[in-house]
Amino acid sequence: MPRALSERETEAFRERLCEAAARLYVEEGPAAVTMRRLAAQLGVGTMTPYRYFANKEEIVTAVRTRGLDRFSEALERALDTPGDGRTRSRAVRDAYIAFARANTATYRLMFEYPETRRDDPAYRRAHERMWRTIAAHVEVLAGEGTVDADPAILGHQIWAALHGAVMLEIAGLLPDGYDAASLHTRTVSALLDAARPR
């Protein structure tokens, strides 16, 4: 009889399953994510993944949920750094880019593919947390009087520009001499200038 895994070991295995699923999903498409394929990737028995998730949809939702929570946590930590609003906003940008670079498959699965389980409570909470996080650094700028704009709208504009820069960097399509941060700096300067109090 196999030894029961500790809670820590169970969580570590779930994380490995999620990482393997994200990689397969992004590299080979949704059809590649099967329980049999995941078991082979992890070198375990065919039925082992079913002890942790009921099906592949649950795994993909778990990838997104865990990714969104880790992403939000990274941005929240960055926003808590000392400095004025612009300094803290740059810290958030840098944390965003660092997350996307370090977790490229998860990042792409979070934002590049259609959602399948919006009704999942944990996923919904993680999604709402992410939306709040996207606007939080703009709320700091607005509170300082640096911008006069709806934080949710301006936050989404800044996010859209940053996501575009990150995806171009991931695809290797940025002009020579540019990375996501340098491209986004030019774009966000224009956005913040347009949102300055008049």
pTM of the model: 0.90
**What pLDDT score was predicted for residue 26?**
87
**According to the model, what pLDDT value does residue 130 have?**
94
Distance CA 153, CA 160 (A): 11
| Residue in 107, 95, 115, 101 with CA at minimum distance from that of residue 23 | 107
Predicted local distance difference test score (pLDDT) of residue 2? 55
Could you give the 3-state DSSP secondary structure of residue 26?
Answer: helix
pLDDT of residue 3: 60
* Per-residue exposure over 39-74, b if at least 16 CB sit within 10 Å of its own CB, e if not: bebeeeeeebbeebbeebebbbbbbbbbbbbbbbeb
What confidence tens digit (pLDDT) does each residue in 98-145 have? 999 999 999 999 998 777 677 899 999 999 999 999 999 999 999 999
What is the mean pLDDT of the segment spanning 181-192? 93
* pLDDT, mean of residues 65-74: 97
Q: Where are the domains of the chain?
A: 7-194
**Are the beta carbons of 92 and 78 closer than 8 angstroms?**
yes
**21 or 115, which is more confident?**
21
| Distance separating alpha carbons of residues 73 and 106, to the nearest angstrom | 15
The structure tokens 């295995």 sit at 13
Band of pLDDT at residue 1, cut at 50, 70 and 90:
very low
Give residue 173's pLDDT band: very low, low, confident or very high (50, 70, 90). very high
Mean pLDDT of 31-52: 91
**Domain covering 7-194: architecture:** Orthogonal Bundle (1.10)
Q: How far is CA 15 from CA 1, 10, 19, 52, in A?
A: 24, 9, 6, 10
